[in-house]
Amino acid sequence: MKTTFFEKTLMFVLLLAASADIELAKLGFLSIKFSFSAARLSLILLSILCLAALFLYNYRPDKMAVSLVILVFATLTCFVVSALLSKCGANTSIKLVMRYATMALASLLAAAFLSTRSDGFESFLKAVVMVAVVNGAIGIFEGFNQDFAGSLAGIFREGSSVYAAGRVRSAGTMPHANIYSNLMVISIISCIYLYSKKYIKACLFYPGLIIPAAGLSFSVSRNAYLSLLIGLIIFVFNPSFRRNTIIAFLAVAVLFIALSPGKSRFGNFADTSSASRIELYKAAVKMFRDYPVTGVGPGCYNLKLAGYASEKLMKAEGQNILHASLNAHNGFFNVLAENGALGVVIVVILLVYMAAGIIKNFPGLPPAGEYGIISSVTLPFAFDAFFYSYFIMAVVLTVLFAAVLKKPE
């Protein structure tokens, strides 16, 4: 059974709403206060609708799906233990774990629903591409109009912006330019995949490629371009994707040269941002040494960083550290610091299980196009930690879970 037009439209609308993380209301329970944003409510609604659809179609999970659910809930349980022993207050950590649970539940249910459709995985990617086109267009306008960029920062980022070459880096409706650039990369890679497999026509392929590529130019993210390059290299090894990969590479290169305001940043790997990352990793290791079993607690890396930052890091990132706005800038080190050995072990088990399932689904050479998609959603975590973003984490987890549950063609 294929995904219906209504289901595709609903996916797009919910993902578009999730990409605009605007706070709508605040609620309190005992001493814990919760904020309800458009993103959180969209994911809750997605969970409800997917659960209803699975019930309606009498869905019966196979062993792979059951094992995946058990491992995800085991991971969340470990995070709860870390939260209860948090070194910056259980309330802070519990709220973040609830955020993780919202993302994980929505992604599991969405992936299960997508597995019941012969084109479910591709339909989800198509919805992500359309959201990226909307955000890409906004980011392009940001790049040309700095006043507009400031207005968007006030709406979606509490007035905070990051700069390159004296200009605001485009971020669209995302909470940070790096998250925005990651979405642009996912769109470019997804367009190559979908167009090469004839799931979309040229009328979506070219806008889904060119608009995000132009938006990416204004985000000036080295991490994103590296992730994109690796994804393109994976595609080049598969003859089915080679021609469209070359087209994409040329489009990205031309737009980067023509539009990017921070080209000099790509030749300077000794700048503050690059140098600070090593110090952030060292701080994460120090936290792990002090709290090796359960870490400092989910969401506490940034709050505890001031006590672990080196003099060099304080000098470079003092304001960000004092405002608690820095994470470990690496997925592994973030989990290591916040959840300790317990968290690292369960996360590694989950990742190994998913990797085994994906390899089983897509064996042999040349590499299946799905590996290009997977690289685009996972590689950015080598240089950043986007765990706090409802939208990007829902996209990443849904892609990974759906790849595990996807039936080979």
Domain range annotation of the chain: 5-269+330-405
pLDDT digits (tens, 9 = 90+) for 192-209: 999 999 999 999 999 999
pLDDT digits (tens, 9 = 90+) for 79-126: 999 999 988 887 889 988 999 999 999 999 999 999 999 999 999 999
DSSP annotation string for 136-165? HHHHHHHHH-HHHHHHHHHHHSTT---EET
The better pLDDT of the pair 299, 47 is held by 47
The β-bridge partners of 26 are: 35
Examine the pLDDT at 188 and tell me if it is beyond 80: yes
Examine the pLDDT at 151 and tell me if it is beyond 60: yes
**HSE toward the beta carbon, residue 43, CA cutoff 13 A:** 28
Residue identified by tokens 């110090």 is 279
Residue 329 — very low, low, confident or very high, per pLDDT cuts 50/70/90? Answer: confident
CA–CA dist 108, 293 (Å, integer): 28
Residue 34 — very low, low, confident or very high, per pLDDT cuts 50/70/90? Answer: low
The better pLDDT of the pair 272, 40 is held by 40
The DSSP call for residue 2 is: P
Residue 389 — very low, low, confident or very high, per pLDDT cuts 50/70/90? Answer: confident
Q: Can you give the pLDDT at residue 321?
A: 77
pLDDT digits (tens, 9 = 90+) for 220-272: 888 899 999 999 999 999 999 999 999 999 999 999 999 888 776 666 655 55
CA–CA dist 195, 217 (Å, integer): 22
Residue 407 — very low, low, confident or very high, per pLDDT cuts 50/70/90? Answer: confident
Q: Can you give the pLDDT at residue 25?
A: 57
CA–CA dist 197, 369 (Å, integer): 9
Q: Can you give the pLDDT at residue 35?
A: 65
The β-bridge partners of 37 are: 23
The better pLDDT of the pair 104, 176 is held by 104
The β-bridge partners of 167 are: 164
Kindly give, in sequence order, each residue whose CB lies less than 8 Å from that of residue 405, ignoring residues fewer than 6 positions away: 64, 65, 68, 111, 112, 114, 115, 357
pLDDT digits (tens, 9 = 90+) for 307-327: 888 888 888 777 777 776 778
DSSP annotation string for 162-218? -EETTEEPP-TTSSSHHHHHHHHHHHHHHHHHHHHTTSS-HHHHHHHHHHHHHHHHH
Q: Can you give the pLDDT at residue 406?
A: 83
pLDDT digits (tens, 9 = 90+) for 6-25: 999 999 999 999 998 777 65
